[in-house]
Amino acid sequence: METDSPWLTEQQQRVWRNWLRMNTELPAALHRQLQADSELSLPDYDVLVQLTDTAEGRVRVLDLARALRWERSRLSHHLKRMEGRGLVRREEVPADGRGSYVVLTSEGRAAIEKAAPAHVRTVRSLIFDSVGADELAALGAVVDKVLARLEEEERSRR
Amino acid sequence: METDSPWLTEQQQRVWRNWLRMNTELPAALHRQLQADSELSLPDYDVLVQLTDTAEGRVRVLDLARALRWERSRLSHHLKRMEGRGLVRREEVPADGRGSYVVLTSEGRAAIEKAAPAHVRTVRSLIFDSVGADELAALGAVVDKVLARLEEEERSRR
DNA sequence: CCTGACTAGTTGACGCGTCACCCAGTATCT
DNA sequence: AGATACTGGGTGACGCGTCAACTAGTCAGG
């Protein structure tokens, strides 16, 4: 009814619109920088980070999907493209005929080592350099709350 | 601000990762809800909102693109799909043989009127219900700063 | 009027992401 | 051993988004 009003307050609307806009423009800016300084996309970067974090740069596809919080299908598509560009390679799993490993190639390792410093610099420059520790804490609190709600919603969906 | 230290602090990393995750999961959740309650996608919704905000539900394509901050190409692609589903219609502009109007059809109007309440409810439930006015202000401040940096970066790019 | 620059909008190709479905290998139960 | 279910992973189709190239209409200068 009118008591819990169906719309957003002025302030909420303003923050919401800007938030949405930032959420489209920030990834776009990061993507541009990454493309300018390397041949990597943002998702490429995420995959390569996971692989470098792993001993031997070798992971089971499903483990990688879980670490990235990606769907198996999405990862499969993406790995196919990355494999085509020589960034990763697939290997069979001796113990399980269904599974496969994803292995970081030397090109892949070289690519992310080349790209990482400028990428981190860009993240810092676009966000953290202008956001103090107190603001960061407030932001973190909001993000955590929204994530908690999203998880709640996800649980209730199953 | 220590622009020379190459990595992020612990706190910054934590907030950054959660932020990224929220930025992928929040649109996904909103999209799911919209699809469940209507036949609209999030971009469809944005387009329809603009059209209903306009007198007569009739806008020049370029004006629409500017209002949405979309590229002309993206809008053109999207309008083609929406036109195929009967949500909008194109009309010629008498005064300028190049241009065209986008017109909201009655199906389009019905679709967004049906979808809007649940969508707003979801936004409120996922975000604003758990974020107080003080936190909202802090969030707004951060968002504004990041947007300012993005605009600065965009200007320097041209 | 004609030519050249500019503008409105479209198209095609490609990367990204989801959904529905498929396939093959493994585990289990009898 | 054979039927069945489950699991790891892949595919195809389609919507979304960007980039580069294109078409057609307009406009300004000669």
CB contact under 8 A, B148 and A140: no
Please, what sign has the CA dihedral across residues B56, B60, B66, B68? Answer: positive
pLDDT exceeds 50 at position A145: yes
A78-128 pLDDT, tens per residue?
999 999 999 999 999 999 999 999 999 999 999 999 999 999 999 999 999
Q: From residue B13, how far is each of A5, A107, A140, B67 by CA, in Å?
A: 37, 27, 11, 34
B111-142 pLDDT, tens per residue?
999 999 999 999 999 999 999 999 999 999 99
Domain ranges (residues) in chain A: 10-126, 127-158
User: CATH for B10-126?
Assistant: 1.10.10.10
pLDDT band for position B158 (cuts 50, 70, 90) = low
CA of B85: nearest nucleotide by C1' is D15
How high is the pLDDT of residue B2? 46
CA-nearest of A6, A9, A15 to A138 is A15
pLDDT exceeds 60 at position A8: yes
pLDDT exceeds 50 at position B80: yes
User: Under a CB-based contact definition with an 8 Å cutoff, are residues A36 and B84 in contact?
Assistant: no
Vertex A125 angle, CA A123 and A129, to 5°: 110
pLDDT exceeds 90 at position A46: yes
B30/A154: higher pLDDT: B30
CA B22, CA B41: separation in Å to the nearest integer?
Answer: 19
How high is the pLDDT of residue B5? 52
* Chain A environment of B127 (Cβ under 8 Å): 16, 146, 149
- Closest alpha carbon within chain B to A70: B24
pLDDT exceeds 70 at position B39: yes
CB contact under 8 A, B23 and A21: no
CA-nearest of B143, B50, B154, B89 to A17 is B143
What does DSSP assign to residue B7? S
Best of A142, A145, A158 to disrupt the B interface (most B CBs within 10 Å) is A142
* Chain A environment of B15 (Cβ under 8 Å): 136, 139-140, 143
CB contact under 8 A, B143 and A11: no
Question: What is the average pLDDT value for chain B, to the nearest integer?
Answer: 91
Question: What is the average pLDDT value for chain A, to the nearest integer?
Answer: 91
pLDDT exceeds 70 at position B11: yes
How high is the pLDDT of residue B74? 98
* Chain A environment of B26 (Cβ under 8 Å): 23, 146, 150
How high is the pLDDT of residue A158? 66
List, as own/partner pairs, every contact residues B110-118 make where C-beta atoms lie below 8 angstroms and the sequence separation is at least 24, other chains included.
B111/B38, B111/B39, B111/B40, B111/B44, B111/B48, B111/B87, B112/B40, B112/B45, B112/B48, B112/B49, B112/B52, B114/B37, B114/B38, B115/B34, B115/B37, B115/B38, B115/B40, B115/B45, B117/A6, B118/B33, B118/B37, B118/B38
pLDDT band for position A4 (cuts 50, 70, 90) = very low
